[in-house]
Amino acid sequence: MVFLKPLLITKLKATAVHLCLSIAVFVYLAYQIYYNWYPQPYFAIDGGWQGMRLIGAVDLILGPAITFLIFDLSKTRRAIVFDLMVIIIIQFGALSYGIYATYTQRPVAIVIFDDFIVPATMEHYGGTLKDTSELQRYSDEKPPIIVATFPMNKEALAEITRIKNEEKVLEHAQMNLYGAQDDLKAALQARQIMTSELLDTLDKRPAFEYWLQQNGIMQDQVLIQRFSGRYGYAWLVFDTEGKYIGYF
């Protein structure tokens, strides 16, 4: 027991140091996820929270836990260096995977097509999107909110299906279908009757009225559209010119 006590203290000190460094890394990554990669409402309903939990588990639990288990100053210097390298490799590898998965699954565009408004990730573009800055010409929002106009003739629809099957570009990620920024207003206006009916069907009218009251806005001053995320949904709110102003 006399031997175990100082060993335990050493392990706790090493773990505490590791945890402090991990917290600093996690705070930085949490900021990026919440404010840049998955701004609200996408953080809550489109993968941001899931990504943050994954990174937190690796950064705040896995790394410090490994340090507590294997760190021992009574070992030779060579053994200690080896242990530290093992800790760094395991945590760096797991953390890199978590960051990569969270970053690549972030919504790089919010696309309105048919009666839906859905997220588009880099994967959905099948390699046709080289840089997210290419999407800024369609919208100034972050992430861009874009209208995709689907043609009605059979030949054009067949081409959309071919691109999806052969080039692995999903329908809402085919940029040749994207309209200009000014098209958003018209697209939202055309959907307001259907959206209003959906509000009542889903019993979300009270939530909408509460949002209007909280923000001091009249109903005829906004346009709304239901956004379907991967883990839930929200209602995006725009002004009458099609500029995004909030959600509920």
Residue 119 has pLDDT above 80, yes or no: yes
Hey, which residues does 222 pair with through a beta bridge? 239
Alpha-carbon distance of 3 to 223, in angstroms, equals 70
Higher pLDDT, 33 or 75: 33
Average pLDDT value for residue range 71-78: 86
Residue 3 has pLDDT above 60, yes or no: no
Counting the structural domains of the chain, the total is 2
Residue 7 has pLDDT above 90, yes or no: no
Alpha-carbon distance of 34 to 31, in angstroms, equals 5
H or E segment to which residue 223 belongs: strand 222-228
pLDDT, tens digit, 9 for 90 and up, residues 122-163: 999 999 999 999 999 999 999 999 999 888 889 999 999 999
Same domain, 168 and 86: no
Residues 6+ away with beta carbon under 8 Å from 37: 48, 51, 102, 103, 106
* Last residue within a domain, chosen from 50, 79, 104: 104
Same domain, 75 and 117: no
Same domain, 113 and 22: no
Same domain, 220 and 140: yes
Same domain, 65 and 141: no
Same domain, 204 and 228: yes
Residue 211, pLDDT score: 97
Share of the chain above pLDDT 70, in %: 98
Same domain, 75 and 129: no
User: 3-state SS string over 43-69?
Assistant: HHHCCHHHHHHHHHHHHHHHHHHHHHH
Residue 4, pLDDT score: 54
Same domain, 234 and 149: yes
Average pLDDT value for residue range 82-90: 90
pTM: 0.87
Same domain, 165 and 187: yes
Hey, which residues does 116 pair with through a beta bridge? 113
* Last residue within a domain, chosen from 104, 128, 159: 104
Same domain, 78 and 8: yes
Residue 95, pLDDT score: 94
pLDDT, tens digit, 9 for 90 and up, residues 32-52: 999 999 999 999 999 999 999
Same domain, 69 and 125: no
pLDDT, tens digit, 9 for 90 and up, residues 165-211: 999 999 999 999 999 989 999 999 999 999 999 999 999 999 999 99
Structural domain span for residue 152:
109-247
* Last residue within a domain, chosen from 82, 104, 126: 104
Same domain, 97 and 154: no
